[in-house]
Structure 1
Amino acid sequence: MRAVVVRAFGGPEVLQIADVPMPVAAEGQVRIRVEAATVNPVDLATRSGALTEAGLLPARDVIGIGWDVAGTVEQTGPGVTGVMRGDRVIGLSDRLDVPIGTQAEHVVLDADAVTAAPAGVSPAQGATLPLNGLTAAQALDGLGLHPGQTLLVTGAAGAVGGFAIQLAVARGLRVVAVAGAGDEALVRGLGADLFVSRTARLGEAVRSLVPGGVHAALDAAVVGAAALDAVRSGGAFAALVAGGAPVPLRGIRVFNHWIRADGALLSRLAALVEAGSLTLRVAGTMPLDHVAAAHRRLAEGGLRGRLVLTP
């Protein structure tokens, strides 16, 4: 079968479509015939070697690429319950050190990392949910806010930011969205109460809208210290990438959120999609062998949604 791998770090040109052995589902696992796999910033960081430089991924002869998947279960390993052959599912591969990622014709995942695909959406749409939806939901859990409190979301027009707005609003939070001026209508449509342009001096602009500062920030755009300045003393701050956590000034609880697969939480997010409370955004689809072009386009920025590979 075919799979996207890298054997040397570098630009998109190092991505290869390799012929690899068909994976076999072991105990507690399922094999999925991949119908869609999303391209995310973590894939670019894996391919470039940035994750290895950061000490997050050992250097290997072959590294698989891809985290999100939507497809059909075609094999179940011993001990698997609740998932059957033929089920349409979405799931997350949350390990960096793998020879085959989800950008492949087939992938094996732990059964508790997948859930039924939301009804009424395409595989490409469903594949955009696991990594970015779980990141937003788990980071919000870590912030520990209560209904009525105020949350700052940077990168609010992006994939994680958009999910964060909608999930925060569903929790009764008041959202201040930070994005480009042209995205104000988009983020307000997702439920943001207040808007600040990303070109503004963030602390001052947010505090003019929310006296004393917001209760917490979810920093999807890796703004760092400027976003921290908008948080009130004793608040909370969620960073989403390695090296993105600013110094915890003024008693602010700063933490790096590290994503983990969670089929049960993913099921709840899928239910929100079915209810129309969570918006899936596909920026475009490409065949698997156009993966290098997808990496180049994502690196250019400005996408409103995710690019999806369709093996």
Structure 2
Amino acid sequence: MRALVDVAFDHRREGMTPSPTVELANGVQMPLLGLGTWPMDNEATASAVKTAVYSGYRLFDTAESYGNEAGVGDGLRVSGVRREDVFITSKFNKNWHSRLGVREAFEASADRLGVDYIDLYLIHWPDPGQDRYVEAFEGLEALLREGKVRSIGTSNFKAAHLQRLFDEGMTPHVNQIELNPERVCGDARRLHQAHSIVTGAYSPLGRGGPFLSHPAVVAAATKYGKTPSQVVLRWHTQQDIAVTPKSSNQQRQSENLDIFDFELTPEEIRRINALDTGGHARQDADEYAH
């Protein structure tokens, strides 16, 4: 297993203040804003991670299916940041949905990343047709007890999938779902809150969604001297929704992180919430999985 370079990192080189954190149910502190890496390949990911570290990022989100875990590890090693100063999230595929399978998946991911532990490890999709995600979560709990992972969770789990876990006395620390102003997911967020689950958001900017040009967003951007994207990311993080926007451009990375020097008013948040279309996720977690 390759190890991250354990050298002193000069925080004065960073361009931005690192993201504030949200506390998970087991006391682990997770940055509210990090770098997403899908669909970059290993080479692009390594470059993006290196520049992101220098910009102040400390959370990096990857997955087995992205095919770029090695790139995340390479970028962190080249940056010289200490392992304990970064938070790595990864996810495993449906073919590992068993107690022993999760362990195999972890060992392979850790090897590609070049780490001894993963900060947050997620079931990427529930795949209810296969109906083994409860076993997969049992495997995650075993890794957590052994200190192989610091926190555990799910991705793309609907209420019914989570209820299966609750019925077995299991609760993820995080559930990562597609969430943005046109897909506010109020019911899911309320369920998460009731069970002390942190909501993670992917596609927080909707891949350049039309809401970025809506007056509710543009007006706030003008008021605070920010871009519409910055306003939307602040809308997420101000509500303790953890976000991982993807960018390989250093200027955009810095821009995405530069959102913690202003605060939206309750009315501004309400106006952005009103952009919700009630639409479904691009992929139905009852039918799609990998």
TM-score (norm 2): 0.28
**Whose Rg is larger?**
1
Q: Which has the higher strand share?
A: 1
